Amino acid sequence: MRRKTKFPRLKQAAIGAGALIAVLGTAVPAEPFALPDMGSPSDAVMSTGAEQRLGKAFMRSVRESLPILDDPVVTDYVESLGRELLAADNNAGGDFTFFVIDQPVVNAFAGPGGYIGVYAGLILAAETESELAAVMAHEIAHVTQRHLMRSIDDQSKLSIPATALLVAAAILGAQVSADAGVAAIAGIQAATLQRKINFTRENEKEADRLGIVTLAKGGYDPYAMAGFFERLAKNSRVYENNAPEFLRTHPVNTNRIADALGRADDFGAQQRPDHLRFQLARAKLREASYKRPEQAVDHFRDTLREGRYRNIMAERYGYALALERAGKLGAAQQIATELLDAKPMLPEFITLDARLDVKQGKASQAVAHLKQAISLAPASWPLRISYADALMAAGKPSEALDELTTVARLRPGNAVLYEKLEEAALKAGDRAATHRFRAEKLYAEGDLEPAIRQLEIALRQRDIPYHDAALIQARLDIWKEEARDSKQKKKKDRDNNQRGISPQIKN
C-alpha cells in the first residue's frame, strides 16, 4: 500500500538540489545561474547537530506532502547503491537516508541532514546503473559540501522547525501547487523569505566534479554523468515546455557536458555490468506504472515474446508481478519458483514467492520459507517485513509485533512500518502499543498534536508494563517540549511581524 499524499493534485514536477526556491506571495521566474545574495558562506553553515535536527523536521514535511514509495525491496536497492557510493566518497561522513518518491518525475534532490530523494521516474529513465549512480553521486556531493546549508544566511537563522518549513515550502511550491507553496511559505516569517534559495553554477560544477570522482572510485562508468546529461538535453527538444524536471533544477548546457567529459577523461572508461537488482527495481516500477494490471500483463508478455528487454530475468520478474496483480496467481507462482531456483538469495524473489503463498492460502509455508531465508540474511529488513506480514496472515500477530519492533529499532521514523506495527498490536490485543505506534506514525507524517494525544491515551491504558510506560512518557515529554517551542516561536514571530521587526533566528 502506498501512502497517499494530503494534496490530491500533485504536479509532475520536482525540485532538486540544483534549485531550491523559496518565494513569498508571488512566483519568481527561475534564474538557474543567478548568484543569490546569501552573505558569507562560512557564516551560513549550521552545526552538524542542528543540521541533523533540521533534516528530521524536513523529512516529516516531505512525508506529509509527497508520496514516499513504501516498497521495501526497491528502497533497499536504492539504499544499497547509496552505500556503495558513500564508501567510495572520501568526503562522506555522518548519516545519509535514501528514499524513493513514487512519481514519474526524472529528478532527485538532496535535503538537509543527508536526506536524498530519488524519483521513480529517474530510475526508469536511467538506461544503466551508472547513470542512476551518477545522479545520486551528484546529490551526495551537494550534502558533503553542505551547499544547502551555505545558502542559509547566518544573520537571520531560522529555528529548526521554521527552517524545515522553508526548505519544505520550496519543494511544496514546485511539487504540489503554487497555492500550496505560497501557503506554506506564508506561515514563516515574511522578512526572512523574501529572497531565493538557489544553488549557484559553481555548486553544480563542484557536485559534478566530486560525483565523477565517486563514480570512478566506486567502479562505475565516469562518463555516465555526461552521457545522461547529454541524452536528457537532446530528448528535451521533444518535451518542449514539459522537459524532464532534472533539466529545470540542474540546468545543463554544452559547457557543463564538456566539463563532465573532461573530468571523466582523467579516469578513462570503466564498463561494468548492471547489478541484477537495478534491473529488478526498474521492472517493478515499470509494472507499477500501469494503472490496470491487464496493461502490465500485455506489456511484459509482448516484450518477452519480442525480445525487447535488457535482462530476461528482470523482465520475467515484472511479468510475474503483473500476473499477481491481475489475480493469475498460478501463472505468477510458476515464474516465481523458477526465478527463486535460479537466484535463491535475492529478496525480490523470496518476498514475491512468499506473498504468492499467502494469497493462495499457504501462509504457514510462507512463514517457514521466510524464517529460513532470514537465518541466512538476518540483516535484510525487506525479508523481516515480509516475514511479519506472513505471520499476520498465519494468525500470529504477537510474533509479527516482535519482528516489526526489531525492524523499527533499526529503522526509526518510518511511517509505513509504524502503520504495520499498529495493526499487529491491535490484533495482538495490546491497546497501549496500538496507540503508541499510531502516535509514532502520526509524528513521522508531521502531525505532532494528534501524535501527542495518542501517547496520552496510551499512558491511560490498564496493565501497561512499567518499562513501556517509561518509554512512552519520555517520548511524550520530548514531543510536548517540541510543541511548546513551536508555539512560542510562532507567537514571537507573529508579534515581531506586527511590529515590523525582522526576527533573529537560532539553530
Active site residues: 139, 208
CB-neighbour burial class of residue 224 (10 A; exposed 0-12, middle 13-18, buried 19+): buried
CA-CA distance, 506 to 378, in Å (whole number)?
A: 43
CA dihedral 441, 445, 446, 451 (to 10 degrees): -20
The three-state secondary structure class of 274 is: coil
CB atoms near residue 346 (< 10 Å): 18
Bridge partner residues of 101 (DSSP)? 68, 119
* HEC readout, 305-352: HHCCCCCHHHHHHHHHHHHHHCCCHHHHHHHHHHHHHHCCCCHHHHHH
Helix (H) / strand (E) containing 101: strand 97-101
Q: Is the dihedral of CA 428, 430, 436, 442 positive or negative?
A: positive
Asked if residue 44 lies in contact with residue 151, where contact means CB atoms within 8 angstroms, the answer is yes
Range 94-131 burial, b when 16+ CB lie within 10 A, else e: eebbbbbbbbebbbbbbbbbbbbbbbbbbbbbbebbbb
Look-up of cell digits 504536479 = 11
Q: How far is CA 345 from CA 366, 378, 419, in A?
A: 15, 12, 28
Closest by Cα among 100, 130, 129 to 117: 100
Q: Annotation-wise, does 138 bind a ligand?
A: yes
Spatial CB neighbours of 505, under 8 Å, sequence gap ≥ 6: 156, 157, 158, 159, 162, 163, 192
Backbone φ and ψ of 101, nearest 5°: -100, 130
299 is known to lie in a ligand binding site: no
108: nearest Cα among 125, 122, 97: 122
Helix, coil or strand: residue 109: strand
Q: What is the rounded CA–CA span in Å between residue 448 and residue 485?
A: 12
Annotated binding site for Zn(2+): 138, 142, 204
